[in-house]
């Protein structure tokens, strides 16, 4: 099968934001596509670390994918027991890890899942995210997911998609469903 090769390889910065369901799922769709092309991917999950999701087990089956669960769940919601300071410590560790993975040369794509939420909740700081965007090697693709993407992050990205909620089963008092919601 012939594949379209770009004349110039450009590492893209992609932001997936919005209040709708599917931001992480979209990024993980990129992981599946990348693996199909033999690319190496690192996913750093900033917030969902202590919540089970089927995709975490699914990622283990994909060659060339490294996944780091660094968070303690969603800060301040769903009865999360951890203090803001604990969430911030974890997010700060995730930023250090992200810079390490960004610069190590081992990956073609780096996905920072829920990094936008982490910024909005002041678990990390805008200069830290902008530094990662600035330090990004020219051929590396960087994907930043999560609600409430900062305008400066959006401005610096090559591609920005907003996932908009139109209707959600949760609002109809339907519990999250295995394989669809987690």
**What does the H/E/C string look like for 21-84?**
CCHHHHHHHHHHHHHHCCCCEEEEECCCCCCCCHHHHHHCCCCCEEEEECCCCCCCCCCCCCCH
What's the pLDDT at 104? 98
Mean per-residue pLDDT pooled into runs of 10, the chain (182 residues): 79 98 95 97 87 84 95 72 88 97 98 97 97 98 98 98 93 87 80
Give the integer Cα–Cα distance in Å for 54 and 57.
Answer: 5
Give me the domains of the chain, ranges plus CATH numbers. 13-163 (3.40.50.300)
Cα first-last separation, the chain: 34
Give the integer Cα–Cα distance in Å for 14 and 159.
Answer: 5
Which residues, 6+ apart, have CB-to-CB distance to 160 below 8 Å?
14, 15, 16, 17, 149, 154
What's the pLDDT at 81? 77
What's the pLDDT at 51? 67
Contact 13, 158 (CB under 8 A): yes
Q: What are phi and psi of 162, to 5 degrees?
A: -115, 125
Give the integer Cα–Cα distance in Å for 152 and 44.
Answer: 21
């Amino acid at each position: 099968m012939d594949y379209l090769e770009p004349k110039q390889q450009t590492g893209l910065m992609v932001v997936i934001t919005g209040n709708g369901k599917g931001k992480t799922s979209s990024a993980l769709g990129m992981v599946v596509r990348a693996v199909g092309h033999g690319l190496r991917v690192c996913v750093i999950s900033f917030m969902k670390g202590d919540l089970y999701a089927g995709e975490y087990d699914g990622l283990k089956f994909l060659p060339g994918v490294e996944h780091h669960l660094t968070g303690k769940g969603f800060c301040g919601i769903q009865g999360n027991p951890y203090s803001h300071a604990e969430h911030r410590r974890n997010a700060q560790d995730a930023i250090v890890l992200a810079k390490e993975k960004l610069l190590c040369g081992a990956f073609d794509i780096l996905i920072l899942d829920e990094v936008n939420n982490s910024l909005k909740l002041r678990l990390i700081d805008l200069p830290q995210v902008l530094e990662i965007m600035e330090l990004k090697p020219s051929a590396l693709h960087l994907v930043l997911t999560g609600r409430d993407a900062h305008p400066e992050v959006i401005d610096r990205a090559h591609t920005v998609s907003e996932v908009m909620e139109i209707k959600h089963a949760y609002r109809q008092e339907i519990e999250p469903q295995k394989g669809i919601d987690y």
